[in-house]
């Protein structure tokens, strides 16, 4: 039962790889979410200049930073 939850249905080989695969999937998801939050969007500063990243105080900025940090931590753990 535990092997099936871990993604290993044959009961033998690959049991050690399941946690790593889950970490890799979580890392990839975090990177994708950060990229999607930035893709196709343009922010402007107080003077009207375009910025590639949201200004301080914008809640989207916190989400992008969070996903980026999560991806970096998972990458280092792998």
Record the pTM.
Answer: 0.64
Locate the domains of the chain by residue range.
19-77
User: Over the stretch 17-52, which tens digit does the pLDDT of each residue have?
Assistant: 889 999 999 999 999 999 988 887 888 888 888 887
DSSP 19-57: HHHHHHHHHHHHHHHHHHHHTT--EE-TTS-EESSPPTT
User: Other CB atoms closer than 10 Å to residue 74's CB: what's the count?
Assistant: 19
């Amino acid at each position: 039962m535990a092997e099936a939850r871990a993604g290993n249905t044959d009961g033998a080989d690959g049991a050690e790889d399941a946690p790593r695969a889950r970490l890799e999937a979580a890392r990839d998801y975090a990177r994708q979410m950060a990229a999607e939050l930035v893709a196709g969007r343009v922010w402007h500063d107080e003077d009207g200049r375009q910025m590639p990243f949201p200004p301080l105080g914008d809640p989207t900025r916190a989400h992008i930073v969070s996903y980026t940090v999560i991806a970096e931590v998972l990458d280092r753990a792998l």
